[in-house]
Amino acid sequence: GNLKGYDILLHDYGTMNWSDVTRSAIAYADGGWIVRPHVYFYAMQDEEAQGRVHNTDIVGYTSEGRKLYLDSDGQFRKPGSLIRNPDLGRILKNIASEGIDVFYKGYIAERIDEDMKANGGLMTFNDLKNYKTVRSEPVWGEYRGHKIASNQPPGGGVMIQEMLQILEHFDLQAMGHNSPDYIATVAEAMKWATIDKDKKMGDPAFDEVPVAEFTDRNYAGELAERIKRGEKANVVRYGQPEESKDTTHVTVVDADGNAVSMTHSLGMPSGVVTRGLGIMYNGCMGAFDPRPGLPGSILPGKRRFTALCPTIVFNGDDPYIVVGAPGGTFITMGVLQAILNVMDFDMTMLEAVSAPRITANSNTIDVSNRIPKFVTNKLVTRGYPVSRSPFSYVFSGVHAIRIVDGRWDGGADPGRDGMALAI
């Protein structure tokens, strides 16, 4: 659906044509892109320890994938290696010259259909031909007098709204940034939002998702009172597969006042590359819940929950913070803290995305290695299990822009490969 979504946005809001838009992508496909340390780390992480197939075995599942991504020894290409994908460059050129119908109804669709039939795949020519995008109004909320717009279910926007409305009942600035009180309070808001997501979040096309409950300010106030009384939320985990970190985020603001926060995710790689196309298909079907009758259960045509939560905070009617992140199930938690850092602690955008983060999508509070032990020791004495990451920058990769009095400042998470750039 990505290509069709981009085409609609380009038609409705854009000033360029497909040839303009794809020029850089074609150059990277033909000329190559350099394997960066973050890409290599992702490819080589110990998936077997989590009961999953190793990424090198996935990307090497087809001869096309092996040719693109693996060295002769069967290992993922090392940092600094150049990966060229001329097949992808060719179909991007076709799309640029002929339009997106060549993908959905033309020879690319036919080639996908042939490959699926030959190998027992489920996707068909008609699936591509009949695909329709879903367009919806954002989910609206408020935090400290600022309007907040984020994405509809099954995305993570309602979690952002719920957490912010819980935390509005606390003087976070007085607690001190990343103090024991601050971390415990924010962690409890994260846990309550996770509990509600697990119980209530499915695909609105299949199940009724109670968006009004996620965004109910009275309900948020009740949860805040429970946190103030010292209650600890209990997150029950069923070993559901975690969303992959194979995601990209782009935040853009222009001189005309337009603002876009867009998160793109492959979900996780399937390993399947159709010969001659250079496209690796999504493999995120495995992230559905195999048990029937639950919000995340697998069904034909169903969308699964994703933590993706591109978000815009408004100052009056003008964009103030434009934010989003890659990072699997940590995305909502990273975006939340970036917003708090700006709004409660008056950080610049670079400071906000660079500050040490925590996450609590279980009963354990996970912390960045830059959060001091004297802080986490106090959390332990309060009865919180704490897990320390060995990494300095972790729990999503937030990228954002702040707009103050018509001036922009951007922040690209130092733990990722992104950058803030004015052009």
**pLDDT tens column, 185-239:** 999 999 999 999 988 888 888 888 889 999 999 999 999 999 999 999 999 865 5
Give alpha helix (H) positions in 33-136.
Answer: 37-44, 55-59, 63-69, 86-98, 101-104, 107-118, 125-129
Q: Which residues of the chain have pLDDT under 50?
A: 240-241, 243
DSSP 3-state of 90: helix
The structure's pTM equals 0.92
**Residue tagged active-site, from 22, 62, 185, 247:** 247
| Tens of pLDDT, residues 149-162 | 999 999 999 999 99
How much is the pLDDT for 52?
75
What's the rounded Cα separation, in Å, for the pair 157 and 397?
17
| Cβ-proximal residues to 114 (8 Å cutoff; 6+ apart), any chain | none
How much is the pLDDT for 246?
64
Q: Backbone dihedral region of 394: left (phi > 0), alpha (psi from -120 to 50 degrees) or beta?
A: beta
- How many CB atoms are located within 10 Å of the residue 266 CB? 16
Total residue count of the chain as it appears in this document: 423
Residue type, 321: I
How much is the pLDDT for 241?
45
How big is the chain by its Cα radius of gyration, in Å?
Answer: 22
Largest CA distance in the chain: 64
Q: What value, to the nearest 5°, has the Cα angle with vertex 192 and ends 188 and 193?
A: 115
How much is the pLDDT for 49?
65
Respond yes or no: is residue 359 known to be catalytic: no
Q: What value, to the nearest 5°, has the Cα angle with vertex 21 and ends 111 and 70?
A: 55
